[in-house]
Amino acid sequence: MPPRRVVTGRSKEPRKRFAEELRLLRAQKGDSLRKLGEVLGWDASLFGKMESGKTIGSPEVVEALAQHYGTEEWLLTLWELAVGDPTQFLEQHRRYMALEQEAMSLWHYAPSAPPGLLQTAGYAREALATGDLQGRELDQQVEARIGRRKLLERDDAPPFRVILSEAVLRTRLRDPQKWREQLEYLAEAAERPKITLHVLPFSAGPHGLMNTAVKFLRLLDGRTVAYTENDDRGELIEENGRVEGLQRRYDAMRDLALSPAESRKFIVRMLEEVPCEPST
Please, are residues 74 and 59 in contact by the beta-carbon 8 Å criterion? no
Tell me the domains of the chain and their CATH numbers: 14-84 (1.10.260.40), 102-117+157-273 (no CATH)
- Rg of the chain over Cα atoms, rounded to whole angstroms, equals 22
Query: In the chain, count of helices (H) and strands (E)?
Result: 13, 6
pLDDT at 279: 44
Q: pTM here? A: 0.68
Low-confidence winner among 74-83, 145-154, 182-191, 217-226 (lowest mean pLDDT): 74-83
Low-confidence winner among 48-52, 117-121, 211-215 (lowest mean pLDDT): 48-52
pLDDT greater than 60 at residue 255: yes
Q: Which pairing describes strands 195-200 and 160-165: parallel, antiparallel, or unpaired?
A: parallel
Per residue in 217-229, pLDDT (tens digit) is 999 999 999 999 8
